Amino acid sequence: MKITVYVARAFSKNHKGGNKAGVVLMEQKLSNAQKLAIAQQLGYSETAFLSKSERADYQLAYFTPKEEVALCGHATIATFSILRQLNQLYKDHYTIETNSGILEIKVEDDVIFMEQNKPAFYDVLMLNELIHCFDSQAIDSKYPIQIVSTGLKDILVPIKSEEQLRTLQPNFEAIKAVSKKYNVIGMHLFTFKEAHMSCRNFAPLYEINEEAATGTSNAALACYLYEKGYAQRELYVFEQGESLNSPSEILVKVATDGQKKIKNVYVGGKGDYCETQNLNI
């Protein structure tokens, strides 16, 4: 069977960088085994499979080269960027059915925003649990190391400076072990100074050593920064991917209620079409 796969860079910055994802517009039913085979052939961190839904405008399934995951921000941005490229977007609001629930998509000119689940806060880790993962002297002890999720769990790790974040050398086997222990996708390292926020993301448990742009992780980070009062704003701009020579820009909108509690979270960015591939499965 021949399958057409579109490839797009999500969260690109100035039409460069970003995080590549495969996108399959399913014209025929594919088994999970076939979807996994496609994801493995492509080799990107995630591939999205778009199909019809009885509960929303579309249904989206996401596969890494290892297995299916419930949600993926950059693959969703890539999908709607491809639909936009193919002139298949006719409105500025859509809904998608995912394994994390029904989520909203907003199209604002060339920026695609994806709704996230409301934030959930989990364990706070002790610094000594990460001593084998990288140089623990780089961790900023003023802020908690915590597991947060807006759809996928990540360990959020504060780093003292952008220089230390950039030069940090990860031990992927150690990160994998900690990720497995806490049943998370991976670790999202960050540093911030006023409005400038930089990140790196490691998910070796899912065979993704480092990722150039991660939507769900940055959505969780925005909620962490807001809820704890470290940096409260309506729009967060995160930079990621510099260490991979793939500079990315991820936007996160946080909407609050009258009590200043988070009621909606959207992660967004731009996407650029790269190529079309024809695969045999």
- Per residue in 162-210, pLDDT (tens digit) is 999 999 999 999 999 999 999 999 999 999 987 889 999 999 999 889 9
Residue-range domains of the chain with CATH: 2-115+270-280 (3.10.310.10), 120-269 (3.10.310.10)
pLDDT above 90 for 113: yes
Is the Cβ–Cβ distance between 219 and 210 less than 8 Å?
no
Is the Cβ–Cβ distance between 109 and 269 less than 8 Å?
no
Percentage, residues of the chain above pLDDT 70: 100
Q: What pLDDT does residue 90 have?
A: 93
Residue with tokens 């045999």: 280
CA dist 233 → 41, 227, 249, 264, 270 (Å): 41, 11, 17, 13, 21
Percentage, residues of the chain above pLDDT 90: 88
pLDDT above 90 for 260: no
End-to-end CA distance of the chain: 5
pLDDT band at 279 (very low <50, low <70, confident <90, very high): confident
Residue with tokens 């200043």: 260
pLDDT band at 76 (very low <50, low <70, confident <90, very high): very high
Helix or strand or coil: residue 37? helix
Look up 46 and say whether it is catalytic. Answer: yes
- According to DSSP, residue 119 is labeled P
Give the residue-averaged pLDDT of 83-103: 94
Give the residue-averaged pLDDT of 120-142: 97
Burial grade of 126 (CB within 10 A; 0-12, 13-18, 19 or more): exposed
Task: Report the distance separating Cα 78 and Cα 69, nearest Å.
Answer: 16
pLDDT band at 28 (very low <50, low <70, confident <90, very high): confident
pLDDT above 90 for 137: yes
Task: Report the distance separating Cα 187 and Cα 151, nearest Å.
Answer: 15
pLDDT above 90 for 97: yes
Marked catalytic residue, from 46, 97, 239, 249: 46
Residue with tokens 């929303």: 56
Give the residue-averaged pLDDT of 118-129: 96
Is the Cβ–Cβ distance between 219 and 265 less than 8 Å?
yes
List strand residue ranges (DSSP E) for 100-185, in order. Answer: 101-108, 111-116, 120-125, 145-149, 153-158
